[in-house]
């Protein structure tokens, strides 16, 4: 770790003057928004989800479980009667309301452990049973559409129609719910351990432990980023050859149809470019420019990169990658996916599952390594560049 570099830079997370001395155990009220609001927001999300599911069941609003084709993305309920998915969602929402109310009251002990386990189970259920990989194409098409819509008539309208679909809206809702319940579970765990609600450090904190934790997080992050990038690059590897008339990722007959539509080639290469850009951004999780903006970014050069600016998009991408890869693998196993799309294409899409898992690990390691001095408990060290 480059402690001298960090020490000569402006303090990035130092407690205010006159605040608690590092290592003191004085401030217990969380100052960060997510430590205070994750449980209430998760409770509100669950209540909205339960009410929303009832409106599907009685026909007031369109259900997101009506498209059987979404099974190839990993949708669990779309091949059954929509009422099944609506009932499951309503019950899950009610369970979330109960868990959220308990989370606002519990402080520790066996009850705290039960509520924390319940929060983790709710997060896992939302992301595994309700969320699926159908959102990743929408996210990938966003930057592509912003560029190509000026050259391809109707592309912008088709995109707006897609994001307004009930299923897309519900997927965004589920992604938010999964993240909220994960944050609530982390907060409950800190309460149970008697740790700081904002940074997670305990009374046994020492500078030596901090240095060891950061070094371990950097090692794990580098390995995870290497895996995530290697898997993510498989997708542009089967898309960029389209520019040169090479049928990579599909049979020759299918590729002839693709070539006849310049829009399909442009979109495919555009998605490959987005994937390549995402792989480059992953490297920032273990690079200096993931802590300080690089010199070429005029107006921001040298400034501290907000932790949330990296953690939030990386978390969303990790969940979306893993969901699409998981759904594709299950669809192929269940013969619900057209195998004629080509073996290399399936490998590139299936590799998104390990890429998502690795990206999640890299993001968690990045968040741990970026913890500076805590304004609530006074523990911690100034941030350091990952030299």
Least confident of 24-33, 54-63, 120-129, 262-271: 24-33
Burial label, 129 (beta-carbon count in 10 A; 0-12, 13-18, 19+): middle
Is the pLDDT higher at 265 or at 198? 198
Location of structure tokens 């409950």: 188
Least confident of 31-35, 201-205, 292-296: 31-35
pLDDT at site 350: 80
From CA 53, how far away is CA 48, in angstroms rounded? Answer: 9
Task: Report CA torsion sign: 185, 191, 194, 196.
Answer: positive
From CA 360, how far away is CA 371, in angstroms rounded? Answer: 17
**Cβ contacts of residue 79 below 8 Å, gap of 6+?**
68, 71
pLDDT tens-digit map of 331-379 = 766 655 554 455 566 777 788 899 999 999 999 999 999 998 888 888 9
Q: Is the pTM of this model over 0.95?
A: no
What percent of the chain lies above the pLDDT cut of 90? 49
pLDDT at site 307: 93
For all residues of the chain together, what is the average pLDDT? 84
pLDDT at site 241: 80
Is the pLDDT higher at 176 or at 157? 176
């Amino acid at each position: 770790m480059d402690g001298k570099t960090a020490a000569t830079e402006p303090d990035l997370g130092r407690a205010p003057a006159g605040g608690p001395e590092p290592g003191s155990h004085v401030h217990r009220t969380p100052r960060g928004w997510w430590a205070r609001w994750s449980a209430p927001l998760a409770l509100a999300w669950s209540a909205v989800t339960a009410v929303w599911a009832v409106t599907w069941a009685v026909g007031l609003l369109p259900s997101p479980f009506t498209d059987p084709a979404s099974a190839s993305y990993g949708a669990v309920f779309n091949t059954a009667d929509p009422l099944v998915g609506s009932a499951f969602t309503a019950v899950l929402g009610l369970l979330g309301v109960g868990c959220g109310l308990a989370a606002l009251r519990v402080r520790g002990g066996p009850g705290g452990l039960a509520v924390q386990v319940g929060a983790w189970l709710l997060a896992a259920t939302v992301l595994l049973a309700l969320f699926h990989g159908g959102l990743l194409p929408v996210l990938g098409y966003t930057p592509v559409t912003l560029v190509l819509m000026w050259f391809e008539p109707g592309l912008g309208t088709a995109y707006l129609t897609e994001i307004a679909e009930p299923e897309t809206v519900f997927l965004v809702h589920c992604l938010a719910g999964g993240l909220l319940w994960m944050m609530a579970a982390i907060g409950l765990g800190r309460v149970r351990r008697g740790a700081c609600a904002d940074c997670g450090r305990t009374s046994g904190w020492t500078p030596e432990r901090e240095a060891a934790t950061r070094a371990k997080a950097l090692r794990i992050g580098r390995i995870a980023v290497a895996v995530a990038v290697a898997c993510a690059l498989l997708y542009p590897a089967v898309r960029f050859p389209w520019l040169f008339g090479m049928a990579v990722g599909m049979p020759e007959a299918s590729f002839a149809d693709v070539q006849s539509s310049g829009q399909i080639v442009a979109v495919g290469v555009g998605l490959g470019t987005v994937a390549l850009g995402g792989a480059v951004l992953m490297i920032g999780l273990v690079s200096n420019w993931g802590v300080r903006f690089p010199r070429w970014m005029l107006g921001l050069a040298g400034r501290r990169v907000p932790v949330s600016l990296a953690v939030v998009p990386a978390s969303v991408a990790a969940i979306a990658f893993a969901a699409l890869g998981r759904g594709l693998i299950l669809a192929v196993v269940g013969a619900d996916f057209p195998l004629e799309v080509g073996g290399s294409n399936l490998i590139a899409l299936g590799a998104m599952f390990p890429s998502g898992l690795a990206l999640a690990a890299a993001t968690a390691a990045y968040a741990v390594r970026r913890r500076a001095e805590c304004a609530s408990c006074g523990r911690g060290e100034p941030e350091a560049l990952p030299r």
